[in-house]
């Protein structure tokens, strides 16, 4: 009997519960949170850095039976808004998701503060549709933590409901020393005054200049590596071509002359394109960096060939005759007598060629080599600002200005050394004396003057 009674009571309880469910139907949530995400404004990265402008995105779906008249999104404590923060709203019509209703098509009013976002909809959000809310210029606290976005909403019956918390938080990492310094720098009054001028802000924004230094420094090292590998390779190639240019065989002179004239007579930009399209067909697996310094070396070798040829031909023929009288053959004479004197004379010109080659590494950005100009281009496109290019110019000057000074000093020392080697009588040569003869002043040779004096 006991089991029968339990079964009867259980059946009655189930019937009673079913009747209550029928009498008071449980409707689904009028608005459900589908996702909460954040993205960096500057470069679209996924690592959210506290204290920096961020695009906060909230997406939700409206229930099928009720409209939503108001949405309130509460921000975590310590969040801030940038001066240019604004709201973007979009209602996605699920029957036609390819044609969402933009911000201006959804009649609404909103109030955006550091604590919350309140949106009132004039006609309400349509049932069954999706709503996308994006806050630009939103800043999370500069503390490493996970943050949840909460809020409430009001349906078309005037009832307030709590938004269901999204399961995944927004993970925020604390700013690095550089990031914190940039935040501090952006708050300085002189920086704000400087950036208030459109020209100064576009060409030399202090915050963007400091922010671009680490990235451009990496590109600068790549540019230096390109020329540091390409120029030493160009020196022996150029020296060999200069020997061919001075060869007694006309065929060698002809072929080397074609090489030099073609390289020097065509733009390096064109040579880069030809090399990057042609070399991979002959050498498979060659990366852009290797191709880059090879084409730079080949270009520089043509100019170095003419520099070496002019330096060798500037050596007096008496050097060859003196070496021959000592029993030295042509090869020994060239490598032990002529070339050491040639190098001493052409070092300033070679340094100038090195500077030109270093600046020409910027052309490799056109074919995808990640050197300094490529990094500057990327930074400038992301920030819509020219400041990274100006910073890149400063990095180029770090190499070119000291080398230009070295050239000047070396040329002065070379000129002083050449002056000491001049004949003594040339340096001590006296100017002709000028004396009055009759009504006119005239220059009288020393011999004539002596004769006149004796007379």
List pLDDT tens digits, range 40-90: 655 555 578 777 788 898 888 888 777 888 999 999 888 888 888 888 888
Kindly tell me if the per-residue pLDDT of 217 is higher than 90: yes
Q: Is residue 101 part of a domain?
A: yes
Kindly tell me if the per-residue pLDDT of 7 is higher than 60: no
Q: Is residue 212 part of a domain?
A: no
Asked if 235 and 341 sit in the same domain, the reply is yes
Asked if 90 and 226 sit in the same domain, the reply is no
Average pLDDT, the chain: 82
Contacting residues for 103 by C-beta, under 8 A, at least 6 apart: 87, 88, 89, 90
List pLDDT tens digits, range 135-178: 998 888 877 888 888 889 998 888 888 887 777 888 888 767 78
Asked if 116 and 235 sit in the same domain, the reply is no
Asked if 341 and 403 sit in the same domain, the reply is yes
Give me the percent of the chain exceeding a pLDDT of 90.
35
Contacting residues for 88 by C-beta, under 8 A, at least 6 apart: 103, 133, 134, 135, 136
Query: Could you say which of 173, 203, 237 is where a domain stops?
Result: 173
What residues does 53 pair with on adjacent strands?
A: none
Q: Is residue 384 part of a domain?
A: no
Give dist(CA 384, CA 386) in Å, integer: 7
Predicted pLDDT of residue 419: 58
What residues does 120 pair with on adjacent strands?
A: 70, 109
Predicted pLDDT of residue 30: 66
What residues does 116 pair with on adjacent strands?
A: 74
The DSSP 8-state label assigned to residue 58 in this structure reads E
Kindly tell me if the per-residue pLDDT of 127 is higher than 70: yes
Residue numbers of the domain that contains 396: 220-361+392-443
Q: Is residue 152 part of a domain?
A: yes
Contact 268, 366 (CB under 8 A): no
Q: Is residue 252 part of a domain?
A: yes
Predicted pLDDT of residue 2: 61
Instruction: Work out how many domains the chain is built from and give that number.
Output: 2
Kindly tell me if the per-residue pLDDT of 198 is higher than 70: yes
Contact 290, 298 (CB under 8 A): no
Give me the percent of the chain exceeding a pLDDT of 70.
82
CATH of the domain at 115: 2.60.40.740
Asked if 295 and 432 sit in the same domain, the reply is yes
Phi, psi of 434 (to 5 degrees): -115, 125
Query: Could you say which of 139, 173, 207 is where a domain stops?
Result: 173
Q: Is residue 213 part of a domain?
A: no
DSSP 3-state assignment of 398? helix
Asked if 169 and 224 sit in the same domain, the reply is no
Give dist(CA 414, CA 311) in Å, integer: 14
Give the other-Cβ count within 10 Å of 99's Cβ.
Answer: 9
pLDDT band at residue 233 under the 50/70/90 scheme = very high
Give dist(CA 211, CA 203) in Å, integer: 14
Task: Name the CA radius of gyration of the chain, rounded.
Answer: 40
Asked if 268 and 397 sit in the same domain, the reply is yes
CATH of the domain at 314: 1.10.3720.10
Kindly tell me if the per-residue pLDDT of 18 is higher than 60: no
Contacting residues for 180 by C-beta, under 8 A, at least 6 apart: 51, 142
The mean per-residue pLDDT over the stretch 15-41 comes to: 58
Q: Is residue 387 part of a domain?
A: no
Asked if 155 and 241 sit in the same domain, the reply is no
Give the other-Cβ count within 10 Å of 294's Cβ.
Answer: 17
């Amino acid at each position: 009997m006991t089991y029968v009674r339990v079964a009867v009571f259980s059946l009655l309880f189930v019937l009673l519960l079913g009747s209550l469910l029928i009498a008071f139907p449980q409707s689904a949530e009028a608005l459900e949170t589908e996702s909460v995400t954040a993205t960096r404004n500057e470069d679209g990265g996924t690592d959210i850095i506290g204290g920096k402008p961020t695009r906060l995105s909230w997406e939700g779906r409206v229930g099928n039976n009720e409209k939503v008249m108001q949405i309130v999104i509460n921000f975590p404590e310590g969040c801030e808004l940038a001066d240019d923060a604004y709201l973007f709203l979009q209602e996605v019509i699920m029957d036609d998701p390819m044609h969402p209703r933009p911000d201006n098509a959804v009649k609404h009013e909103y109030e955006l503060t550091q604590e919350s976002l309140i949106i009132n909809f004039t006609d309400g959000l349509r049932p069954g549709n999706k709503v996308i809310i994006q806050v630009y210029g939103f800043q999370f606290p500069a503390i490493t933590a996970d943050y949840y976005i909460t809020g409430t909403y009001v349906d078309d019956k005037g009832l307030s409901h709590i938004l269901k918390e999204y399961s995944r938080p927004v993970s925020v990492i604390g700013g690095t020393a550089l990031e914190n310094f940039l935040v501090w720098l952006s708050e300085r009054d002189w920086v704000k005054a400087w950036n208030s001028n459109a020209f100064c802000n576009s060409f030399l924004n202090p915050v963007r200049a400091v922010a671009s230094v680490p990235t451009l420094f990496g590109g600068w090292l790549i540019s230096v590596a390109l020329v540091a590998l390409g120029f030493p390779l160009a020196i022996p190639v150029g020296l060999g071509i200069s020997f061919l240019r001075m060869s007694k065989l006309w065929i060698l002179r002809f072929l080397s002359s074609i090489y030099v004239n073609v390289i020097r007579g065509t733009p390096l930009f064109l040579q880069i394109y030809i090399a990057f399209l042609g070399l991979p067909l002959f050498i498979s697996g060659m990366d852009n960096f290797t191709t880059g310094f090879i084409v730079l070396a080949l270009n520089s070798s043509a100019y170095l060939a003419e520099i070496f040829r002019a330096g060798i031909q500037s050596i007096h023929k008496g050097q060859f005759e003196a070496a021959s009288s000592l029993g030295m053959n042509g090869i020994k004479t060239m490598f032990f007598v002529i070339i050491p004197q040639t190098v001493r004379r052409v070092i300033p010109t070679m340094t100038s060629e090195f500077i030109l080659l270093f600046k020409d590494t910027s052309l490799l950005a056109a074919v995808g080599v990640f050197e300094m100009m490529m990094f500057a281009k990327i930074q400038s496109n992301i920030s819509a600002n020219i400041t990274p290019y100006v910073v890149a110019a400063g990095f180029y000057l770090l190499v070119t200005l000291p080398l230009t000074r070295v050239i000047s000093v070396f040329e002065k020392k070379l000129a002083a050394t050449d002056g000491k080697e001049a004949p003594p009588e040339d340096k001590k040569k006296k100017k002709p004396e000028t004396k009055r003869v009759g009504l006119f002043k005239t220059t009288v040779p020393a011999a004539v003057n002596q004769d006149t004096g004796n007379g």
